[in-house]
Chains A and B, each alone.
Chain A
Amino acid sequence: MHRVVPQPARGRGRGGEGDLSEQGFAFLLLSPAALLIVVVVLVPLIITFVYTLTDMNLLSDTKGRFMGLANYGAVLGSSWFWESLGRTLYFTFVSLILEVGLGLLFALLLAGSFPGVGALRALVILPWAIPTNVSGALWKWILHPDYGALNALLSWLGLIKEYQAWLGQPWLAMNMVILADVWKMAPYSAIFFLAALQFINRSLYEAARIDGAGVFRRFRYVTFPHLVPTLLVVVVMRSMEKFKAFDLFYIMTKGGPANGTKVLTYDAYLRGFDNLDYSAAATISYVIAFLVLAFTIVYLRLGRQEDIHD
């Protein structure tokens, strides 16, 4: 009996009529992943955009009506939006500056070679390895007005007379959330900077030393210029993430006290899932996305200018 030996798929133009071309085969392999992206990313994005143009307040009598850009007008024309945006920007920039500053400092320290540096590097990374909701709960306990470790420490050091409600005043609470965020994410920046530091040619430092440059001048003229591309990446990524921060606020303050920590994403969450106003929530989400896009464009432009200067 004659047996048909299966032939492996060949490259373009080599196979028979029923064979797939190499390109077709590649598309076939990519299609499950592409389908997944379309279903879980693209479709929700489009539906959310449609929500921003229609009345999707579940409690409204005119649910489903086309609204044009009225939702954007309502959001941008309200005072609560600008208040939340102000808080979001404060959180983003203050925590970004602290996080990048501390991250850089950690990286410079950890780039040195001294006994135990390996263990220290592992230790510094630890906060980053903790899930955000866990670190949020951790900080909520650290800042607890009655049993909190921070109160115990400061009162033991004699710095405070009575225990403080760290999350009890609007501005103070916001700064405490910033503290929690910086504690967790500074190691992340540190890892990036540490990696960049490894690539700097050691001979440059020697040359600088011979030229009589001190520690600060070596940092300013040798280290820092080499860190700029990494700095740009860290700043872009982290400011995007910070602008969308939600979990720490949800766990630590729920937007309080007196709305002091109500950032845009938390506002969107409340309007969508608490007030059933999906239009407002979707509109805020799109405004956040546009703002993040604007940030990124600005950063990229700045980055390009840096490249030209180099």
Chain B
Amino acid sequence: MAKKSIVLFALMALVGAGLWAADKVVLNALFMKQAGFSEEDITAGTKDFMDKNPGIQVNLTFVAYEELEQKILTAAAAGGYDVVLSDGPFTAKFAKGGIVKEIPPLAAADKADIFPGALDACEYLGKYWGMPWINDVRYLFYNKKMLQQAGFKNPPATLDEMIAQAKALKAKKIVEYPIVLPWNQAETLTCDFTTITALFGGAMAKDGKPTLYNDANKKALDWMVAAIKQGLVNPKSITYGEDDINGVFAGGNAAFMFNWTYAYGVTNDPSQSKVVGDVGIAMIPGNGKVKSATVNGGQPLSIASGSKHPNEAWAYILYMTGKDFQRAHPTNSLPIWRSLYDDPNVVKSNPDVVKVAKTQYDYIVNRPKVPYYSAFSSMLQVKIQEALLGRKSADQALKEAQTEGEALAQ
């Protein structure tokens, strides 16, 4: 008898739990593991959101950045996810391909408080397809000790100064290859090319059409090729991604690198760096009239087109991108809100980075917002590498890139 009642009770409990879960709106959200807000930040924020919205349950999935796009493409449109972490260059493609939904309009005051470059990355054909969430750009990281040894007090403010300092560092045998950059055949190369072309006054596309073959872009690519040829940029750069150059810099084998914010934490972590305490962070050096330029690496949160609960998904996105969450978790990703940059908790999290970030964000450059961006970027990476390997001149490489880019645009 006692056995029977236990079984009956267990069954009732099971059915009860099922009904309780069925009563809730279940959201599936897709995030990434590396860079930006950490898994702990996101889990804590999600728990807060669920506490405040007892009718919504959010299930989290974390994947590597490299898997993110594929996961969205294969699952999001079919209803596998409600909220997805997107990326600036995906915006046009996802919008045109019907992968994500347009977001509801933002209040004018909110719009004015978000850094324009970050918001701009979510826009395609006058509509917004995501809400800025991770805020990131590339900075110049430098080794303070090496610069001091070479007799420099300040980091370079212009590209010419950076080249001059690199030459001095090399001549004094302080470091063999003073500059290391993430130029392997991957998106990271297009990121740096976006920055460097902007520094030379160029741009890769205008009004949805490629504009690769012009003097400014040629000068930019020539600069990259020359820096490798002179042994100022580490020639192995063409095999390095962002993590690899952190390793080179942290091992004391480079004085300069361009990288995302997270590099500051990595190169100052005693368990993986020999240069703890010597790491300086500064704005990307300018060039002539251009004071600075940096590629936007920010990532928005979007509502997947297959979501059956778009309203709840939007509520969750608003919470995660909101000021409360962003104020509470500034360590791994700085806020998208301009007004939070004077907040004591944000400033305290990383005073050096916050100081530079505040100004650097005004020089954000977005990668081309065209639906054929992925093919365009892959093609461009190959052309740039051919120039960097000395197989083609910068002129020839960009001429071919322009022709192939135009074919993609059609």
User: Which residues on the B side are within 8 Å of A258 (C-beta)?
Assistant: 185, 382, 385-386, 389, 391
| B239 and A145 within 8 A (CB) | yes
| A273 and B385 within 8 A (CB) | no
| A271 to B, closest residue via Cβ | B375
Given B70, B96, B239, B374, which contacts A168 in the complex, CB threshold below 8 Å?
B239
| B381 and A256 within 8 A (CB) | yes
| A256 and B374 within 8 A (CB) | no
Any B CB within 8 A of the CB of A211: no
Binds A, one of B32-40, B152-160, B245-253: B245-253
B244-280 residues with Cβ-Cβ distance < 8 A to A are 244, 247-248, 251, 253
Any A CB within 8 A of the CB of B104: no
| B238 and A257 within 8 A (CB) | yes
User: Which residues on the B side are within 8 Å of A277 (C-beta)?
Assistant: 375
Any A CB within 8 A of the CB of B98: yes
| B185 and A255 within 8 A (CB) | yes
| B241 to A, closest residue via Cβ | A254
Least CB distance from B4 to A in Å reads 28
User: Which residues on the B side are within 8 Å of A58 (C-beta)?
Assistant: 96-99
Indicate the size class of the contact surface on chain B.
Answer: 20 to 34
| A146 and B247 within 8 A (CB) | yes
B363-382 residues with Cβ-Cβ distance < 8 A to A are 371-372, 374-375, 378, 381-382
Any B CB within 8 A of the CB of A276: yes
Least CB distance from A8 to B in Å reads 33
Given B235, B248, B375, which contacts A274 in the complex, CB threshold below 8 Å?
B375
Classify the secondary structure of A's interface with B: loop
| B408 to A, closest residue via Cβ | A275
| B98 to A, closest residue via Cβ | A58
Classify the secondary structure of B's interface with A: helix
B15-46 residues with Cβ-Cβ distance < 8 A to A are none
User: Which residues on the B side are within 8 Å of A170 (C-beta)?
Assistant: 389
Any B CB within 8 A of the CB of A186: no
| A59 and B391 within 8 A (CB) | no
B95-118: contact bitstring with A at CB < 8 Å (1 yes, 0 no)? 011110000000000000000000
In the complex, A170 Cα to B96 Cα: how many Å? 35
Least CB distance from B32 to A in Å reads 16
User: Which residues on the A side are within 8 Å of B98 (C-beta)?
Assistant: 58
A150-178: contact bitstring with B at CB < 8 Å (1 yes, 0 no)? 00000000000000010111100000000
Least CB distance from A164 to B in Å reads 9
B390-407: contact bitstring with A at CB < 8 Å (1 yes, 0 no)? 010000000000000000
In the complex, A58 Cα to B76 Cα: how many Å? 14
Any B CB within 8 A of the CB of A228: no
Any B CB within 8 A of the CB of A196: no
User: Which residues on the A side are within 8 Å of B374 (C-beta)?
Assistant: 270, 274-276
User: Which residues on the A side are within 8 Å of B238 (C-beta)?
Assistant: 165, 168, 257
Any B CB within 8 A of the CB of A259: yes
Assuming the contacts A146-B253, A254-B186, asked whether A259 and B372 have C-beta atoms less than 8 A apart, the reply is no
Least CB distance from A270 to B in Å reads 6
User: Which residues on the B side are within 8 Å of A147 (C-beta)?
Assistant: 247
| B371 to A, closest residue via Cβ | A59
In the complex, A271 Cα to B381 Cα: how many Å? 15
In the complex, A168 Cα to B234 Cα: how many Å? 12
| A276 and B186 within 8 A (CB) | no
| A146 and B382 within 8 A (CB) | no
Least CB distance from B356 to A in Å reads 28
User: Which residues on the A side are within 8 Å of B50 (C-beta)?
Assistant: none
Least CB distance from B237 to A in Å reads 9
B23-80 residues with Cβ-Cβ distance < 8 A to A are 69-70, 73-74
The 6 closest A-B pairs by CB, nearest first: A256-B185, A58-B97, A274-B374, A275-B375, A258-B385, A165-B236
Chosen A-B contacts, 20 in total, with CB atoms closer than 8 Å, are A58-B96, A58-B98, A59-B372, A165-B235, A165-B238, A165-B239, A167-B239, A168-B239, A254-B186, A256-B381, A256-B382, A257-B238, A258-B385, A273-B70, A274-B374, A275-B374, A275-B375, A276-B73, A276-B97, A276-B374
